[in-house]
Amino acid sequence: GEDVEQSLFLSVREGDSSVINCTYTDSSSTYLYWYKQEPGAGLQLLTYIFSNMDMKQDQRLTVLLNKKDKHLSLRIADTQTGDSAIYFCAETTGGGNNNDMRFGAGTRLTVKP
């Protein structure tokens, strides 16, 4: 099957920028998502990007998509301790008519004061 891969851990200092990377293999991916999971909670949608876009910015979050390399990144500016969580990259397959997402294993972000 198609894979979505992420590194499992990232540690940064409060106030620094965090960059979480993701690679995917399905070239027919239409939407790519970033979800945040806080302890004891479900996944919360942070942002998503359509595959014909290169970049999307939303306040402290910047999503970059390199479709040629199938590489997606999430940059969090001025990282705060409240940003500590697991971040999941996900893609939808099936050419836009399918919401059956494939998720990466999640990157655990730890923000040190």
Partner 1 sequence: EAQVTQNPRYLITVTGKKLTVTCSQNMNHEYMSWYRQDPGLGLRQIYYSMNVEVTDKGDVPEGYKVSRKEKRNFPLILESPSPNQTSLYFCASSLHRQSNSPLHFGNGTRLTVT
Binding site for partner 1 (CB under 8 A): 1, 4, 8, 30-31, 33, 35, 40-45, 48, 50, 88, 90, 92, 94, 96-101, 103-106
Nearest to 92 by CA among 3, 26, 31, 17: 31
Nearer to partner 1, 17 or 98 (CB): 98
Give me the least distance between CB of 31 and partner 1, in Å please: 5
Nearer to partner 1, 14 or 103 (CB): 103
Per-residue burial over 62-94, b = 16 or more CB atoms within 10 Å of its CB, e = otherwise: bbbbeeeebebbbbbeebeeebbbbbbbbbbbe
Nearer to partner 1, 17 or 27 (CB): 27
